[in-house]
Copies of this chain bind each other. A is one copy, B any other.
Amino acid sequence: MQIIKYPAKEQWEEILKRPSMDFASLFDKVKITLDNVRENGDKALTELTKEFDNVDITQFEVTNAEIEEAEKLVSLELKQAIEMARRNIWKFHSEQLNEFSEIQTSPGVYCWQKTVPIEKVGLYIPGGSAPLFSTVLMLGIPAQIAECKEVILCSPPDSNGKIHPAVLYAARVAGIHRIFKVGGAQAIAAMAYGTESIPKVYKIFGPGNQYVTAAKQLVSLNDVAIDMPAGPSEVEVIADETANPVYVASDLLSQAEHGPDSQAILVTTSEPLIEKVLEQIETQIEVLPRKEIARKSLNNSKIILVESIDEAISITNEYAPEHLIISTRSYMVVAEHIVNAGSVFLGHMSPESAGDYASGTNHTLPTNGFAKAYSGVNLDHYFKKITFQQLTPEGLTNLSNAIILMAENEGLQAHSNAVKLRLNMR
């Protein structure tokens, strides 16, 4: 890890710079895949699955029999763990339902907002080394609470043509309606355009590699909404002298094991803590199965020594971390000043892994500084809001002068006429 002591404010931008993401450079390549699926449907999916996943698939939809088989393969303990996570995610996201009642903005002008679930949503769950069944819960449960009518899931098949049993089990728990064995940019294309087997959806959620990310960006330009732009995962820990270096090191390593491009940043007011954390990292990393990945990631990672907690807060709001762990004496006071972050973990007993799995908050969060403008996935992401207005003759009369004057000053005479004709004003 790179150690930076007392950087001047002018250096912050450079220090906090993330590895640059340029998915646009993949667009040409990914566009060929998208166009192929758009034109050739299932035939293209079969070919691309053969090419990228080394398996022949012609029947993409996972059958009930396959799901029931998967259910038997998941241990009782893991099922109980999933149930605990499900319950907490459900509780936290249910609280996010909002009411909005009709208001009269002027006499006779009734306006309201209706929150309507997005009818068709698609979830993408990557394959690869780790079966991300926790992400199935995080993306599926809010869709269930929102009562989206059609929730589908795509995930790449392994070389035996199967999806990991824990993913299938979690999909059933989260009430996913249909599951398809297809991955990569071709899965995104299938959900954006529809094929013979896979229905078109209105919004696509979920993480993925750079091809999946590029594909999501491309289809979002014109065809379908996406959850948010995605980049490598990241954590920042703010720590003072009360922080436990064992815990801090374990949190930095939790992030580092995600992938070689993950970023872990420690911002501290305590110089003695730095050495202790580094020692702990060395001790703990040795026994990790993914230690090679973690080591690579730590090369991108930084420890920043600052003068004061105030400075730590400023640097944090500038960086806008996806995950923020506040391990300081007065962590609640610090938390009050955080305005740019995805999800915040307070105090010494709140590791990021609690939120990754089971506290109930969502783990799909804005990376790459997007926390300055984006929320993590929450119930809002599964709804859109429609506004309604109903005017009585009196209501239209009350607004008529304002509408007519504004429309005519904008050069829009027909807008004005729509009012005048209704009120016999011409």
Contact = CB atoms under 8 A, between A and B. Distances in A.
Contacts of A162: none
Contact of A342 (B131, B371, B386): B386
Interface stretch (A42-50, A171-179, A299-307, A418-426): A418-426
Contacts of A116: 339-340
21 contacts: A24-B222, A81-B403, A84-B106, A111-B361, A116-B340, A130-B411, A130-B412, A132-B410, A134-B406, A134-B410, A224-B373, A257-B412, A287-B413, A290-B413, A350-B389, A350-B396, A352-B415, A356-B407, A357-B406, A361-B388, A372-B384
A373 B203 contact: yes
A405 B88 contact: no
Interface stretch (A54-62, A151-159, A246-254): A246-254
Interface stretch (A3-11, A90-98, A183-191): A90-98
A391 interface: yes
B403 A353 contact: yes
A215 B105 CA distance: 36
How many copies altogether? 2
B131 A254 contact: no
A387 B392 contact: no
A106 B418 CA distance: 56
Interface in A205-260: 217, 220-222, 224-225, 229, 246-247, 250-251, 253-254, 256-258
Contacts of A287: 413
Contacts of A350: 389-391, 396
Nearest to A201: B373
Task: Please provide the 9 A-B residue pairs with the shortest distance between their CB atoms, ordered closest to farther.
Answer: A105-B360, A225-B373, A351-B418, A353-B415, A81-B402, A88-B105, A346-B390, A81-B405, A375-B385
Contacts of A32: none
Contacts of A415: 254, 257, 352-353, 356-357
B111 A92 contact: yes
B385 A376 contact: yes
A161 interface: no
B134 A391 contact: no
Contacts of A368: 222
Nearest to A149: B339
Interface string A77-107: 1101110110110011001101011010110
A289 interface: yes
A301 to B, nearest CB: 13
A328 interface: no
Interface in A330-374: 332, 335, 338-362, 366, 368, 370-374
A406 B290 contact: no
A166 B155 CA distance: 53
A313 to B, nearest CB: 14
A150 interface: no
A361 B80 CA distance: 47
Given A91-B103, A290-B411, A358-B406, 8 more contacts: A95-B103, A106-B359, A254-B418, A343-B388, A346-B390, A352-B418, A353-B412, A375-B386
A144 interface: no
Nearest to A393: B349
Given A229-B222, A384-B373, A359 B289 contact: no
